Chain A
Amino acid sequence: VSRPLPALLLAAFLLCASDARVGNKRKWNPEKLFQTEDFSHVVESRSIRTIAFISAQSAADPEGRLNTADNLTAQTRKTLRNLAEALSATGAVPDDVVSMHIYVTDYQQAKGMIVGRQVRKMFENRVPASSFIPVSQLPIEGAQIQIDAVVEMDH
């Protein structure tokens, strides 16, 4: 008797995660495409008043220092924190991000999961369209990840 409830909650959560509507945006995964929680295959944003392009953010602090001892988890956390700072500086919130490129060095599939977990957390499962790109080199020495983003707002 106790099992259907968690199953229902899970189903509701998954439905929510795969078709999120907030403000002027809809972020979803059409049923003919593979289902994922890491990004939305399609993002629709209507009545755009402002668009912002955010340079690639890394785990560097405002002085440009990067702690090379940080592992990917720590670098991802700091990179997303910098992305959040950039969003706040332009008057945007995470839901305003429509697309994102995530670049990771020395890629293995497990790294995708490390990054995906933190991305889902930042976007509270309303994830933007994004591409995950394994790269050979990033401009800051020791950087393992960088993320750039496009933001669209209806104000």
Chain B
Amino acid sequence: MIKPVCCMLAAAMFCMAAADKVGDSTATVVHHLNPDTLVKQEHATQIVRIRNPRDLVHIAGQTAVNTKFEVVGSSLQEQTVEALKNLDFALEAAKCKRHSLVSLRVFFVSNNAAEIRTLQGMLKTYFKGGPLPALTLIGVTRLVGDGMLVEIEGTAHLQDARP
């Protein structure tokens, strides 16, 4: 009695899995992958994969400048707050949200390990526990404008809202 039930359950599960596969072939799905073979990070996802991508938005490197191109903030931490605000403005203009970001590159001027850890913590906070993008942190000797300490460029995937 038990065996046929098990068989039926197994068959049903197989059918559901097959149906899932059929669904996957057309639906847009964003996966955030952190395989055990790679180091886990609190502020980034190792791989962000989009099946059947919709629209991609590429955002130029945002720095801590106001609309007059004046640098705001004198420390890496202060400037990161401003650069992230500008990133928000760019995302908003493209009808994206923070969690639409699938990839980030952060260029920073610092060789101070504690400062770099603070930067990583700020990125984690920025995403408020939501999905994290793939990330590259890049230390550089300087950026394009005098006094600039951070520049953040990103790619977002626009799945839901369309302009």
Chain A residues lying within 8 Å of B109, measured Cβ to Cβ, are 136
Shortest distance between the CB of B141 and any CB in chain A (Å): 5
Query: Quick check: is A50 within 8 A (CB to CB) of the other chain?
Result: yes
Are the CB atoms of A55 and B41 closer together than 8 Å? yes
Are the CB atoms of B38 and A50 closer together than 8 Å? no
Given A53-B48, A53-B103, does the pair A146, B38 have CB atoms closer than 8 Å?
Answer: no
Of A48, A51, A82, A137, the contact of B139 (CB 8 Å cutoff): A137
Are the CB atoms of B37 and A62 closer together than 8 Å? yes
Are the CB atoms of B36 and A138 closer together than 8 Å? no
Which residue of chain B is the closest to A84 with respect to CB atoms?
B37
Query: Quick check: is B13 within 8 A (CB to CB) of the other chain?
Result: no
Query: Quick check: is A148 within 8 A (CB to CB) of the other chain?
Result: yes
Of A54, A61, A139, A148, the contact of B120 (CB 8 Å cutoff): A139
Chain B residues lying within 8 Å of A57, measured Cβ to Cβ, are 38
Are the CB atoms of B155 and A53 closer together than 8 Å? yes
Are the CB atoms of B47 and A54 closer together than 8 Å? yes
Interface residue stretch chosen among B15-23, B77-85, B128-136, B144-152: B128-136
Query: Quick check: is A124 within 8 A (CB to CB) of the other chain?
Result: no
**Residues of B within 8 A of A (CB-CB), count:** 40
* Alpha-carbon distance between A106 and B138 when the two chains are bound, in angstroms: 13
Query: Quick check: is B35 within 8 A (CB to CB) of the other chain?
Result: yes
Chain B residues lying within 8 Å of A89, measured Cβ to Cβ, are 33, 35, 37-38, 46-47
Are the CB atoms of B137 and A56 closer together than 8 Å? yes
* Alpha-carbon distance between A63 and B56 when the two chains are bound, in angstroms: 33
Which residue of chain A is the closest to B53 with respect to CB atoms?
A51
Chain A residues lying within 8 Å of B53, measured Cβ to Cβ, are 48, 50-51
Of A52, A55, A136, A139, the contact of B141 (CB 8 Å cutoff): A136
Which residue of chain B is the closest to A101 with respect to CB atoms?
B136
Query: Quick check: is B95 within 8 A (CB to CB) of the other chain?
Result: no
Query: Quick check: is A39 within 8 A (CB to CB) of the other chain?
Result: no
Given A49-B51, A51-B50, A55-B45, does the pair A136, B140 have CB atoms closer than 8 Å?
Answer: yes
Query: Quick check: is A28 within 8 A (CB to CB) of the other chain?
Result: no
Are the CB atoms of A55 and B136 closer together than 8 Å? yes
Are the CB atoms of B52 and A56 closer together than 8 Å? no
Are the CB atoms of A135 and B46 closer together than 8 Å? no
Of B35, B139, B155, the contact of A136 (CB 8 Å cutoff): B139
Which 3 pairs between the two chains have the least Cβ-Cβ distance? Answer: A137-B139, A89-B35, A56-B136
What is B's interface to A at a CB cutoff of 8 Å? 31, 33, 35-41, 44-53, 56, 102-103, 105, 108-111, 113, 116, 120, 133-141, 155
The 9 listed contacts between A and B (C-beta, < 8 Å) are: A49-B51, A51-B56, A86-B35, A90-B47, A135-B140, A136-B111, A137-B111, A137-B116, A148-B134
